[in-house]
Each structure stands twice: as structure tokens, then as C-alpha cells.
Amino acid sequence: MEQPYKLPVSVLVVVHTPALEALLLERADRPGFWQSVTGSRDGNESLRDTAVRELKEETGLDAGDHLLTDWHKQNRYEIYRRWRNRYAPGVTHNTEHVFGLLVPRPLEITLEPKEHLRYEWLPWREAAEKVFSWSNADAIRELPRRAPGGEKP
């Protein structure tokens, strides 16, 4: 049975290459708004399972084929008013848990058209400037120190 409201617990997955190119997705419900893979936890699933599910749903990528890393980083932020109706009455804040997914090179992505219009692979600095969310920009800016073998800024 589907939950009537989204849980205010989500994941942000920064998909990136060893050269620190980051995958960005353009939101279907807000053209011009770019982001990394995101999504809310379903029921009691683990945060890792949420990340794996969202990666598959939004990009077609199988996290088992790549290196998925829990950054053990949390962001708490106010939910944008335009999306608050998706949450139970009175819920105004979300806790986001950050993960990274290392892929060998920019890969072809299979978008879920109800969620995203286009995708781009961008160098990390450009990607950080393009995303609409401060927490997403902060996570992308951490790539040089988070990515295995990543170049330093």
C-alpha cells in the first residue's frame, strides 16, 4: 500500500566519474531546475536501499555495478513551499543523507520521463553552479576530497 505522504527523510546521490564529472538531471516539474539523484525513503527501507532504488528509478543505473559510498553526511533544510503538500500537514523540514556513486566514465542514462527531462555530465565546478539546491551544490563541491583518486581543486 502506498504511503499517503512522503517521509521527510531523503537521499542525495552524487553520481560522478574519477575525473570528477557529475551527473545532473533536469526536473520535469520545474524545467531549468537541475539536481543530482534524490528521493525520499519508502517506509522502513534503509538509506542505502533508498539510494539504490532512486538510482535505478531515475537513471537506470544499477548501484551494484559501481561503487556506492555513504558519505555519512546529513543536511536538514526547509522543504520548498511548492512541494510541502507532498508531506503530512505540519511537516516543514527534511533530513537528507548524502551518498556518492563512482562510475568509470560518463554513462548513458535512462531517464524516468515523469521525473526528469534531460541529463548532463559536467565538470564538478560547473555542476555545483548549475544545481538549484544549496545542499546539492555543497555535496558536489566535496567531490575532490570525497572521490577515490579524485583530483584536488
| Predicted TM-score (pTM) of this structure | 0.92
> Closest by alpha carbon to 35, among 57, 9, 13, 54?
13
Query: Per residue in 111-132, pLDDT tens?
Result: 999 999 999 999 999 999 999 9
Query: Per residue in 41-97, pLDDT tens?
Result: 999 999 999 999 999 999 999 999 999 999 999 999 999 888 899 999 999 999 999
DSSP letter (8 states) at residue 108: -
Query: Per residue in 24-51, pLDDT tens?
Result: 999 999 999 999 999 999 999 999 999 9
DSSP letter (8 states) at residue 66: S
Q: Give the residue-averaged pLDDT of 5-27.
A: 96
- For 85, residues 6+ apart whose C-beta sits below 8 A from its C-beta are none
Phi, psi of 146, rounded to the nearest 5 degrees: -90, -35
Return the CATH superfamily for domain 9-146: Nucleoside Triphosphate Pyrophosphohydrolase (3.90.79.10)
